[in-house]
Amino acid sequence: MIATDHGRRTAEALRGLQENLCERLAGADGRAFGRDRWQRGEGGGGISRVIEEGGVFEKGGVLYSAIDGADLPPVVLQEHPEVAPGTPYFATGVSLILHPHNPFVPTVHFNVRYFEAGEVFWYGGGMDLTPFYPFPEDCVHFHRTLKACCDRFDPRYYARFKPWCDEYFYLKHRGEARGVGGIFFNYLSDDRRRGLDFMLALGETFALAYLPLLERRKDTPYGQRERDFQSYRRGRYVEFNLIYDQGTLFGLQSEGRVESILVSLPPLVRWKYDWKPPAGSPEESLTREFLIPRDWAADSSQ
């Protein structure tokens, strides 16, 4: 494996993070995640932990990879002209996506990653919440938990990473946000050790931010109307991941394992031509009240 000592330590730490997340999520669901190891021809590989038709999760994946090579993907070369084509690189990360059965439980995404090529290195990641029938108190809890983690490392982090998330998880062709945001960061290269500590802290913060929402909403009664709307809104998730998502682009351009890359897609989706939610409905309130930039962490009403 083409990696520095720090790169190897980071990969080992992220492998442990994957196991920890799967154990906690399996405890919440009642079923264990499967285990699928894969190898990449050019170098490296990964482990895909996937659950389908669980007690709580309709589909979910906690994905680990550690890959290397010398043919840098175009998405990296475009963003980093200082990295010469042909420079050996190493990349490792953990990515998580959960699509619950219950439409009142939000979909959630979490990702942390490390990249090095020659003398260049950086960290990236974040997490964001995509509710279908949102509750203000859930959004506030999610954002305040993320802010508390960021503040432990740098009081400026949340103020930088929250609007970055709002901008990144935005469907430009639709003119709307994917969800209620969270944090997103990329190209963080201040300090190798501190960057790793921050990634691992975010892994613990994910459980603190999301699992209480899951427990609070997983038994909320719902019917076909709510499931239909969930499927409709999942279409936005698919559009974002296939058009804009940098992780998807990097995975495909680096010839990663397609099944693992696309495990982020929901199992059931629908597109309805030019559909509009009824005025005053809960479905309309999602767009009107939640899919707009808001300072959830500072919300004094909750």
Partners of 117 in beta bridges? 89, 120
Contacts (Cβ under 8 Å, ≥6 apart) of 128: 108, 109, 165, 169, 178, 179, 180, 181, 182, 183, 184
Give the CA distances from residue 47 to residues 70, 160, 260, in Å, rounded to whole numbers and listed in that order. Answer: 22, 32, 9
Name residue 73's amino acid.
P
Angle (nearest 5°) at CA 57 between 56 and 60:
155
**Look-up of token digits 């427990």:** 215
CA–CA distance, 208 with 259 (Å, rounded to integer): 29
Q: Which residues are catalytic?
A: 109
User: Of 101, 57, 53, 99, whose CA–CA distance to 223 is shortest?
Assistant: 101
Q: Are 51 and 31 in contact (CB under 8 A)?
A: yes
- Computed on alpha carbons and rounded to an integer, the radius of gyration of the chain in Å comes to 19
Q: Are 182 and 164 in contact (CB under 8 A)?
A: no
Half-sphere exposure of 106 (CA within 13 A, CB side): 28
How far is C-alpha 232 from the geometric centre of its chain's CA atoms? 20
